């Protein structure tokens, strides 16, 4: 998939974020991006902070290993996951090739 790319040991993700969802979840492909639903509202950076904590949990890395590269004020974001320890079930290993 185009939304997931390897860069050495890191993963680069193109995300389409939906704030104010009923639960946090990785949904699947949406317009060339991985759709992610999060419960936080997009107010004063709360949604970005929540998103980065959620991704750290999903990929089993510390919060500092999830970097927001672009899209701070947009629903479309680019994120780097530094040396993820696991891939969530929503992503298959064949997509990283």
CATH of the domain at 29: 3.30.1200.10
Count of domains for the chain:
1
Range of the domain at 77: 4-84
pLDDT class for 75, splitting at 50, 70, 90? very high
Residue 49 within any structural domain of the chain: yes
Q: Alpha carbon of 95 to those of 2, 18, 87, 88, 92: distances in Å?
A: 8, 22, 11, 12, 6
Amino acid 89: pLDDT: 82
Residue 22 within any structural domain of the chain: yes
Span 43-69, mean pLDDT?
96
Residue 21 within any structural domain of the chain: yes
Span 79-93, mean pLDDT?
86
Could you tell me whether strands 76-81 and 10-18 are parallel, antiparallel, or unpaired per DSSP bridges? antiparallel
* b/e 34-61 (16+ beta carbons within 10 angstroms → b): bbbbbebebeeeebbebbbebbbebbeb
Which pLDDT tens digit goes with each residue over 33-45? Answer: 999 999 999 998 8
Average pLDDT, the chain: 91
User: In the predicted model, is pLDDT for residue 11 greater than 50?
Assistant: yes
């Amino acid at each position: 998939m185009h939304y997931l790319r390897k860069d050495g040991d890191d993963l680069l993700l193109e995300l389409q974020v939906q704030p104010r969802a009923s639960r946090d979840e990785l949904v699947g492909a949406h317009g060339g991006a991985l759709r992610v639903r999060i419960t936080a509202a997009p107010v004063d950076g709360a949604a970005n902070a929540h998103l980065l904590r959620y991704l750290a949990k999903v990929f089993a890395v510390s919060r500092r290993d999830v970097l927001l590269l672009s899209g701070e004020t947009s629903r479309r974001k680019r994120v780097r996951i530094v040396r993820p320890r696991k891939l969530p079930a929503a992503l298959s290993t064949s997509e990283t090739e």
